[in-house]
Amino acid sequence: MNLVSMAAAVTVVEPELKWVSLWLRSRWAAVLAVVLAALLVVLLPVLLVEEQCQAALQGWAFLRSKLGLGYMGIATYTGQTTELSVTSGGLELMVLKPKVSPEVRLEAKAALHQALEMKRQGKREKAQKLFLHALKMDPDYVDALTEFGLFSEEEKDIIQADYLYSKALTISPHNEKALVSRDRTLPLVEEIDQRYFSIIDSKVRKVLSIPKGNSALRRVMEESYYHHIYHTVAIEGNTLTLAEIRHIIETRYAVPGKSLEEQNEVIGMHAAMKYVNTTLVSRIGSVTLPDLLEIHRRVLGYVDPIEAGRFRTTQVFVGHHVPPHPRDVEKQMLEFVQWINSEDAMSLHPVEFAALAHYKLVYIHPFVDGNGRTSRLLMNLILMQAGYPPITIRKEQRAEYYNALEVANEGDVRPFIRLIAKCTETTLDMLLFATTEHSVGLPEAQDGSSTDCKQTISLKTRT
């Protein structure tokens, strides 16, 4: 081929090469656009990762709760006033539920309308059942909460009414009817709460007037030591009986045929209670982070010596509640200890202080296991440092106890404080009764279902 023919060929091919080049450039531009779009999809949500992870954790926690693996709610303590309140009149403390379907919401709305009609007709018993049904269908139904609160006020149940208004405001903070109603009930509830504290204080003074050498007092404290261990481990699911627990502590021999882990839980509680009594009770107004770690080291040391006395390094789930991320645990615990030793905390009523300390610690959930037992020991430590007897939350109160913790997670910690106050009063009543002329001692622990919720005191110095 000569130069002329080659030039002609190049002239013919050159436009084709230009089109090929243009096609290749377009194709690369399209590929680049796809890559950039993919990078945007990956990178843009980075700012929202924390929220997405939290949502995922809460979804998983909800699934666990449906399988019966937990107890607490998902909202945080909002720092509301902590005067006591408790529901009554057959209304259970309601916790936040998953979003209801439109059909269920319509049924709740219809039930509310029927309840208001029954109320108008004077059929108050039917109205109450319909209010409860509406809230069972949709626990977050603000109108139903507010209207049932008004109904409860008319029934002279101020505490229940205040609880309902508080819950409505947790869901809808600017609801005018709930705000006006809460302003009306809150002062009344605070007065009721303070009166209850005064009753407790008067009973404490009576108990303190009992001579320390009183044989009945010594006997009841001896018995109550074992009762406390029995109930505090039974709340967590331990199946050992009161007699078996006494045998383990007194002989240090295992009970044949029973779980060694459950028996080691008992030994751990015994060790932790001795530590609290002999080392910490006398140090009034001073609880340190090492103290809490030492309590936990004894509580869990015989079951899981690796995790005992150290903060968790993994994320845990407690029902609906997703505790703080492991990297935040130490910081929150330092803030918690600072609060415990603050003037603000120590200026609270001892029962309120102890209940809040219990709740705050179990909310942080700083340990892999043993959080509840450690929190209850801290609660009793605070009570004893203030001159109160330690209390026992009985296993028969387990559902009420966990339910009150859920409500506290929604933002209203007062029902939990009221539960602790009730346990305190029952303990005081038991002590006063046991030291009278006709004392019969503590009620025996029931290993089956029981309706007897009389309290026992919990700790005894043992050497």
Which residue ranges are tagged as binding site?
318-321, 369-376, 401-402, 409
Residue 443's closest CA among 402, 389, 400, 392? 392
Chain centroid to Cα 322, Å, comes to 11
Type of residue at 347: S
**Contacts by 275-279 with C-beta closer than 8 Å and gap 24+?**
276/377, 276/380, 276/381, 276/384, 276/459, 277/459, 277/460, 277/461, 277/462, 278/461
Asked if 408 and 361 count as a contact pair (C-beta separation under 8 A), the reply is no
Phi, psi of 318 (to 5 degrees): -130, 90
Q: Which residues contact 438 (CB under 8 A, 6 or more apart)?
A: none
Taking the C-alpha atoms of residue 250 and residue 240, their distance in angstroms, rounded to an integer, is: 15
Taking the C-alpha atoms of residue 137 and residue 87, their distance in angstroms, rounded to an integer, is: 19
Chain centroid to Cα 426, Å, comes to 22
Both tokens assigned to 106:
């319509």
Catalytic residue among 231, 270, 349, 365: 365
Asked if 408 and 77 count as a contact pair (C-beta separation under 8 A), the reply is yes
Asked if 300 and 293 count as a contact pair (C-beta separation under 8 A), the reply is no
Specify whether 358 is catalytic. no
Count the alpha carbons within 13 Å of 306 in the hemisphere toward its beta carbon: 2
Residue 182's closest CA among 159, 209, 205, 216? 159
Asked if 453 and 426 count as a contact pair (C-beta separation under 8 A), the reply is yes
Read off the DSSP letter of residue 239: -
Q: Return binding residues for ATP.
A: 318-321, 369-376, 401-402, 409
> Catalytic positions, please?
365
